[in-house]
């Protein structure tokens, strides 16, 4: 936690109060709108180059790798608890049930996130 910075709420609010109000896209003239979009593209490009912004496909791939690793470890846990820790069969069964529920929740969330991504792509088109 050494790298975490703490800010006073009053400092944060002061900064936000000093920002100009956001302008709706329809309120900009064509030249301002073009300049704004160009600056946003450059900002996003810079954030991607400096690894502050990660493409969604990379995030999905990394999350899938992470989820598979977690599920794999969780699936072996009941056997380890029974064999190495001497856990009673009823307790092992309860652990297995909890792990199954957790695995189903992970699968559901991954599926929902994928569906949300597809919805967003369709709306953008």
Give me the residue spans of the domains in the chain.
9-49, 56-124
Residue 95 contacts residue 87 (beta carbons within 8 Å): yes
In this structure, the number of other CB atoms found within 10 A of the CB of residue 64 comes to 12
Q: Are the beta carbons of 56 and 117 closer than 8 angstroms?
A: yes
**Under DSSP, is residue 110 helix (H, G, I), strand (E, B) or coil?**
helix
Check residue 84 and give its pLDDT. 94
> Is the whole model's pTM more than 0.85, yes or no?
no
pLDDT of residue 29: 84
User: What average pLDDT does the structure give for the chain?
Assistant: 82
Task: Write down the pLDDT at residue 118.
Answer: 67
Residues 60-74: tens digit of each pLDDT: 888 888 888 998 999
**Which regions in the chain score pLDDT beneath 50?**
none
Q: How far, in Å, CA of 99 to CA of 73, rounded?
A: 10
């Amino acid at each position: 936690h050494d790298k975490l910075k703490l800010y006073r709420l009053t400092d944060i609010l002061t900064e936000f109060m000093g920002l100009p109000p956001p302008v709706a896209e329809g309120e900009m003239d064509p030249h301002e709108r073009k300049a704004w979009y160009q600056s946003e593209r450059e900002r996003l490009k810079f954030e991607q180059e400096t690894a502050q912004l990660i493409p969604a496909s990379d995030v999905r791939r990394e999350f899938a790798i992470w989820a598979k690793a977690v599920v794999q470890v969780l699936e072996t846990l009941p056997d380890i608890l029974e064999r190495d820790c001497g856990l009673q069969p009823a307790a092992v069964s309860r652990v297995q049930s909890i792990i199954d529920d957790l695995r189903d929740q992970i699968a559901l969330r991954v599926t929902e996130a994928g569906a949300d991504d597809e919805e967003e792509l369709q709306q953008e088109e």
